[in-house]
Structure 1
Amino acid sequence: MPEGHRAAPSGRPSPGGRTGAIGLGVCLALPLLGLALLMWQPEIDIAWEDHPAHFWLVLSAAVIGAVLAYAMGAAALQRGDARVLLASYAFLVTALFLGLHALATPGVLLTTPNAGFVLATPVGLALGAVFAVWSGSDLGGERDVRLVQRAGVIRAVVAAVVVGWAVLSLTEIWPFDAGPVPEEVDGMLSAIAGAAIVGHSVAAWRYLRIWRRRRNALPLAVASAFLLLAEASVAVAFSRSWHLSWWEWHLLVLAAVLLVALTARRQWHEERFAALYLDETTQGRRDMSILFADLQGFTTFSEAHAPQEVTQMLNTFFEVAVPPVVGRYGGDVDRIIGDALMVTFNRRGDQPDHARRAALAGLALQEATEAVVREHPGWPRFRVGINSGPVSVSVLGTAGGRTHTVIGDTVNTASRIEGKAPAGGVAVSAATLELLSGVVTEPLGALELKGKSEAVEVFRLLAVER
């Protein structure tokens, strides 16, 4: 499936893209036209009260929305992307309040309608719209790095709001003491739905602007989903319970989350949400520390042993080498190729002490693998090289092969330093050493590195004050 309509060479949308956009606009307008027809001709807005159908329809929308929110949130935290994180909360809030609405189906949790549960859907749509508008705004910088760092706090607040709403609804404390008849909360319902309409419409417009820049199907799907949620909010405000107009908004919410979920699923699985990333996530610049490690003598060992033995050796090493680097010091494994390991620090811009983390991780890696070497004296040993400096953070490739990685001279130099490091040792550049304090080193001299026009001062790292 193409990821989106490509722009014509002039920079204007191609005729095919323009036709597709018009067709999508017509499809998105049909629900509103249908609702208008039902309002204009109320006799065709027939009633159909089916409690099981309502429960499973709403629950399906809630589950799909929650799964989508989880996938987006995981990608956002991995890449430190505030836009995708906030968009995930937009779908999460909507899904959780939809779950409350499902439980309000007569015969499930309650026997009669309840004001709080009746209001749950428009409240969820309105709160979701806040996150949707926020996610489509101009994001970036230190403020949004801190926002990603507080993702757990935001998630806890969202959960507390949902649980609190459920408790207040069940206890029927003001303002949820309006009684069991939904019509008695119509005024409040319409006001909340109105806020959701405005919010989702603004969010849809912002994501349409993202789509116009990137011409990828995913931003267009998100924009369309927010438009569908805006239309669902219109139906919430004007529909009659258990009539066709009322069932319409349930279907619109389900269509919205399905549209984004299916579009995301058809994106290439690596960096599935890359089309939504902030520019600094896909083409940003950061100061980082890069750690390379590989096994000295690996080629010779591979020639003398069966492939199964080589695989067992590598897995034994990586099982003890990776956990301290990632778990203890917060490194991100960029790639493992054969015996080579590349780890980045400060990838998301949230590790100002990246050089210290990398240095401690390098020593921890050697300490952990030394125990393996003692048990297997004939196995090769790791050598580690670390360099610090500016890098470009980028998404490289396209469907069929895409990766989020870092490139630049800092990365290349780190790789060259690792090739000069002694077996069992950690070598660092002068650039990394300048960012460290309380360290013990010994000079390895000015080394001629492949691809470098000038010699690079390299030091063996012996200890770092903890």
Structure 2
Amino acid sequence: MHVAGWLSGFLHHLPRTRGGALRRGSALRTVNWLMHMALPMLALWLLLAQPEVDLAWDDRAAHFVLVLSAAVVSVVLGALIARAARARDDARLWLVSLVFITTAGFFGLHALITPGVLMDTSDAEFMLPTRIGLMLAGVVALTSSITFSPARNAFLWSVRRPLLVLVGALMAACGVAILCGVLDRLPDQDRLEHAEQVTALVSGALFGAAALAYLPIYRRRRAVVVMSVLTAFVLLGEASVALALGMSWHASWWLWHVLMTLAFCFIAYSARIQFNREGTTRGLFDSLATQQTIAELRRDYSAALEAMVDVLERRERGEQVQPDAVAARLADQFELSDQQVAVLKRGAEALGAEREQVRKLGTLVAVGGESSVIQDEDVLLRRVMAAIGDAFPGDEFRLGLVRAGELSFSNGAACAHEGPADARRPNEDGALDLPLIVKGQVTGVIEARRRGGAFADADVALLRSFATQSSIALENARLYQNLDGLFRSYMSPAVATTLLADPDQAGLGGAITDVTVLIADLHGFTAFAETTSPDRVVTMLNTYYGATVPVILETGGTVTQFLGDAVMAIWGAPVHQPDHALRAARAGLALHVAAEEAAAGHPDWPRFRVGINTGPALVGNIGAAEMRHFTAIGDTTNLASRLQSVAQPGQVVLGPTTSATLGAAARVSSGGWVKVKGKRYPVRFCVLHELRP
């Protein structure tokens, strides 16, 4: 009885174990369980090794009551599991039920032919039903542990009735053989006894193999019933061993009766635990079912849960729905008990709350994403307020910004700015103030108000996160606005955006990279400046640069410097551009077009000449700590300057590397040779006429 008490406590504790505690203690409990399972075999060894303690107890009436009671428990279990099998069309459940129905039938026959109770039988006849029953039950138990594909499940389910008839026929044949005294007329009784012992040992091996095969099932589904069936198979296997080796009407012989009874009572006890927890017999043995049945159950319960969640969400939106009526319909559809319906409601509420929280967190992530986008401040704030409104559709929100020392709300109301607001406490009107902080200073506030009550702590924490993300987005928007105005005065919008995202691409301190350099200056500027007033000269330069600089920026170029009447730009840095030569050539041609349009009506204005060269250059910030200048230095730049000096007004002159890089994409003509200071041989240049599409 110590074993039964320990196992009952073990299974009673197991369902209450959760998460990490189950994993941490599983190894210790497994060892403890194995030790208790080994105790019956240890007791059997002791009884056989010490015959003086293997006491005799010949009580035929006690045997009759004990075995018949165990058979009744077994047949009830078999009937319950068979009903669950029919509800699911599940072959494994039906085979498990057949194990208990088989043992119940043969053990009941064993009880009825107890010598001296209802009839007189020999020992061979008395033990025959038990050995046959355990053998058949062991085969069925091992078969129930196999992996059931849908086809295999369908096949076994289709032959369940013939198998049940076969078991019944064997049971009837056994009874007839006993009543006719067939065994007593066999000549070699010793060989018969030996065969019966072997049969019992084989039964023990079958039950042991079945228990081992159920271990993976238990690891996947840590349910009380699975563990109890596994344990029952172990006890039935040990009972078979005790049946083979024990001495009739001695303690070693009674041991297998006790183990057999424990096996059946143990499953009945675990089913009772499950029934007390669920409040219904439906689903008691679902954990034993095939994977196909488990998947169908999960789909059914998921559908029920989704239906309940939908009802609760519709009720939250103000629709006239009756959750209790829906719960009653689901209870009838899935045969749920009141306890299971209550669990379903709680699960639906928890799932609905979790989904709502996930939706709000998704909106929060979207607000955080706004901080990485260069956009107008007003557009940003409108998006932020729209996102918060979507996350909390039933609440009211109002945005206020600090302007000229006053906090002004979108409805035109204004109040004196008194410093940081506290998001943890409502203000005097019951609203929740969520400060927007930029560089440690309160720059605004989001006022939140919930109709009919205060915000829950979880919502307050989420709203504070919204305010924090909104503050970051607002700070970045203002920073981007300032930096954008600074960067875009020198480079294209794409380059500016890339540098804001990755400043290391600017090559701070200087780095050698392949670039294309364009230098353009005004031919005849000196003569024009000597005969023209300074204000007209400045007007001309601003007009020209106002027309030509956008051309450079639109093609992805970076303006590095203005030198009076000359402008220098580079492509390929600070952002890598594989087609930098083509971009520069396109800008050179477009620059002349833009300059002609800008000089319309001013025939006396000088015209640009352009030189372009491609090659390695030192690109980076050059200068002192107090003043830096982003530029490109090297022979590539020097040659570009020399090329523009030999160009005619309106021409674009290309260096040899640029011409080779453009290849067939450009129509050029040979311009001649130019002597470059520091180079031993003259450099051949080309004149660019057009770029082919």
TM-score band, normalised by shorter chain = 0.5 to 0.7
Aligned-pair Cα RMSD in Å = 3.4
Q: Which residue, out of 24, 35, 45, partners 1:26?
A: 35
Q: Distance in 2 between matches of 1:100 and 1:264?
A: 26
Name which structure has the greater RCO, CA cutoff 8 Å, separation 6+: 1
AA aligned to 2:291 is D
Matched, 1:337 2:326: no
CA contact (8 A) 2:232 2:264 kept: yes
CA drift at 1:117: 3.2
AA aligned to 1:278 is T
Matched, 1:282 2:294: yes
Matched, 1:196 2:203: yes
Aligned pair in 2 of structure 1 residues 279, 44: CA closer, same or farther (>3 Å)? Answer: same
AA aligned to 2:262 is A
Paired-residue identity, %: 35
Matched, 1:273 2:282: no
Q: Which residue, out of 78, 81, 85, partners 1:72?
A: 81
CA drift at 1:401: 4.8
Which residue of the partner structure matches residue 265 of structure 2? Answer: 258
Q: Distance in 2 between matches of 1:126 and 1:211?
A: 24
Q: Distance in 2 between matches of 1:401 and 1:216?
A: 20
Q: Distance in 1 between matches of 2:338 and 2:212?
A: 26
Q: Which residue, out of 89, 96, 104, partners 1:95?
A: 104
What SS is found at the alignment partner of 2:56? Answer: coil
Q: Distance in 2 between matches of 1:220 and 1:396?
A: 24
Matched, 1:62 2:71: yes
Which residue of the partner structure matches residue 109 of structure 1? Answer: 118
Matched, 1:177 2:185: yes
Which residue of the partner structure matches residue 168 of structure 1? Answer: 177
Alignment deviations for residues 381-435 of structure 1 (CA, whole Å, 9 cap, x no partner)? xxxxxxxxxxxxxx9999845999xxxxxxxxxxxxxxxxxxxxxxxxxxxxxxx
Structure 1 residues not aligned, in runs of 5+: 289-334, 344-394, 405-466
Which residue of the partner structure matches residue 136 of structure 2? Answer: 127
Aligned pair in 2 of structure 1 residues 190, 64: CA closer, same or farther (>3 Å)? Answer: same
Q: Distance in 2 between matches of 1:79 and 1:151?
A: 14
AA aligned to 1:259 is F
Matched, 1:224 2:236: no
Alignment deviations for residues 85-125 of structure 1 (CA, whole Å, 9 cap, x no partner)? 10111111111111111012112332232523312112111
Structure 2 residues not aligned, in runs of 5+: 1-11, 301-326, 345-693
Alignment deviations for residues 179-209 of structure 1 (CA, whole Å, 9 cap, x no partner)? 8x98774201111112101100010011122
What SS is found at the alignment partner of 1:14? Answer: helix
AA aligned to 1:160 is A
Q: Distance in 2 between matches of 1:266 and 1:84?
A: 19
Q: Which residue, out of 208, 219, 240, partners 2:247?
A: 240
CA contact (8 A) 1:51 1:106 kept: yes
Which residue of the partner structure matches residue 435 of structure 1? Answer: none
Q: Distance in 1 between matches of 2:13 and 2:251?
A: 35
Q: Which residue, out of 90, 95, 98, partners 1:86?
A: 95
* TM superposition score normalised by structure 2: 0.40
Q: Distance in 2 between matches of 1:18 and 1:399?
A: 32
What SS is found at the alignment partner of 2:185? Answer: coil
AA aligned to 1:224 is T
What SS is found at the alignment partner of 1:242? Answer: coil
CA contact (8 A) 1:115 1:177 kept: no
Aligned pair in 2 of structure 1 residues 236, 403: CA closer, same or farther (>3 Å)? Answer: farther
What SS is found at the alignment partner of 1:128? Answer: helix
Aligned pair in 2 of structure 1 residues 238, 90: CA closer, same or farther (>3 Å)? Answer: same
CA contact (8 A) 1:204 1:224 kept: yes
Q: Distance in 2 between matches of 1:195 and 1:110?
A: 29
CA contact (8 A) 2:204 2:241 kept: yes
AA aligned to 1:119 is L
* TM superposition score normalised by structure 1: 0.59
Alignment deviations for residues 343-369 of structure 1 (CA, whole Å, 9 cap, x no partner)? 9xxxxxxxxxxxxxxxxxxxxxxxxxx
Which residue of the partner structure matches residue 14 of structure 1? Answer: 23
Matches within 5 A, 1:309-458: 337=329, 400-401=340-341
Aligned pair in 2 of structure 1 residues 33, 401: CA closer, same or farther (>3 Å)? Answer: farther
Aligned pair in 2 of structure 1 residues 279, 6: CA closer, same or farther (>3 Å)? Answer: farther
Alignment deviations for residues 252-298 of structure 1 (CA, whole Å, 9 cap, x no partner)? 0000011111112211333010111111101149999xxxxxxxxxx
Q: Distance in 2 between matches of 1:193 and 1:398?
A: 46
Aligned pair in 2 of structure 1 residues 212, 342: CA closer, same or farther (>3 Å)? Answer: closer
What SS is found at the alignment partner of 1:337? Answer: helix
Q: Distance in 2 between matches of 1:213 and 1:7?
A: 15
CA drift at 1:220: 1.1
| Paired residues, number | 304
Q: Distance in 2 between matches of 1:209 and 1:403?
A: 28
AA aligned to 1:337 is R
Alignment deviations for residues 196-228 of structure 1 (CA, whole Å, 9 cap, x no partner)? 011000100111221111111211111111010
Aligned pair in 2 of structure 1 residues 111, 148: CA closer, same or farther (>3 Å)? Answer: same
